[in-house]
Structures are given as structure tokens and as C-alpha cells.
Amino acid sequence: MASLLPENAQGEIPVGFALVGHVAHLNLRDEYLPYKRIIAEVIVDKNPTIKTVINKVDDVGTHSEFRTFGYEVIYGPDDMNVELGEGNCVFRFDYSKVYWNSRLQTEHKRLVDMFNPGEVVCDVMAGIGPFALPAGKKGTFVWANDLNPESYKYLSEGIVRNK
């Protein structure tokens, strides 16, 4: 990446991103916005499963009470319908309408590993189910709900898909 950017943009070069299905989610600093297209092209070139690259344009939660965020597509189609696997489950959802953080995968696993078959767990902010679905799959009885109707819809679909 350093060889493609001008010398005045050689500070902390953005190389990290969150991967959500086929979407690479960037949080570019202002000084890198003029180079967002070349950064996105490099990411897609080096990661063949990525089809869409987005950049967050405002903080999580400022866009809606459901912790979604405004974004701009900087490469590829504006297709936020993603599918990914986590915790022995398959999740399908519209990333623009629900909260999802791939970087919490280790925390999801850590907590689910603490649950035992036959126990009861209440997940009152379940989202699309990163705790609830793997816990239920291992025999834990889970009460799950979410304020976001889109999250609840994808949670319900995920329960059926991951039985």
C-alpha cells in the first residue's frame, strides 16, 4: 500500500478492515479519504471474496437508535445482504439495517462456551443472534429479543436455519 500512496500520506497507512461476508468495512481517517478508491482496489485485489468496500461516514448509533451507521460505497455494488459463518452457525442479514461487529467473534465464543445444555440464558439485546444461536444449538434454552425489528427478523430466520 505504501508504494501506491504519495509520500505525504505515509503515516499510519490503513491496512485493517472488518470483514462482514463479502463486505470490507473501513474506518478511514480524513487524511486518507482522497485515496479511498485506490485503498479499496488494493483490498479487493488481495482478497478475492470481497465484492463491496464501504467506509463508515458517521459514528455507530448516530444514524439510528439501532446502532446502525451511515456509510459510503467506495468499491463494488451497494449490496449489504451478507452471509457469514460464526460459532457453528450461518448468519444472513442486511448489514445496513442491523448491528454486527465481526471483531466480537472471540467474545461471542467465550461466553457461549460458558453455557451448558439445559441452562437458561436471557439475551435482551440479541441482535441477529451471535450469542443466542450458538448457545441454542448446543442445547442451552435461550430467551432472545431485540428492539430492532430487522434484527429480530434475521434472528428468527437464523433460528430456523441453524437448528
pLDDT tens digits, one per residue of 127-156: 999 999 999 999 999 999 999 999 999 999
The pLDDT score that the predictor gives to residue 67 is 82
The pLDDT score that the predictor gives to residue 59 is 73
130: DSSP letter = T
Residues 74 and 31 in one domain: yes
Residues 104 and 157 in one domain: yes
The candidate with the shortest Cα–Cα distance to 85, out of 7, 161, 8, is 161
Q: What is the mean pLDDT of residues 113-137?
A: 97
| pLDDT score of 63 more than 80 | no
Domain edge (last residue) among 79, 112, 129: 79
Which DSSP helix (H) or strand (E) runs through 3? none
Least confident of 10-14, 37-41, 99-103: 10-14
Quote the Cα angle for 94-146-143, to 5°. 120
Q: Which domain holds residue 133?
A: 98-161
pTM of the model: 0.88
Residues 52 and 106 in one domain: no
The pLDDT score that the predictor gives to residue 4 is 72
The candidate with the shortest Cα–Cα distance to 50, out of 89, 79, 21, is 21
Cell of 50: 470481497
Instruction: Please state, as a whole number, how many other Cβ atoms lie within 10 Å of the Cβ of residue 48.
Output: 7
Residues 104 and 155 in one domain: yes
Structurally, the chain folds into a number of domains equal to 2
CATH code, 116: 3.40.50.150
The pLDDT score that the predictor gives to residue 12 is 72
Residues 107 and 73 in one domain: no
Residues 69 and 108 in one domain: no
Mean pLDDT, rounded, of the chain: 92
Residues 60 and 110 in one domain: no
The pLDDT score that the predictor gives to residue 62 is 64
- Domain contains 93: no
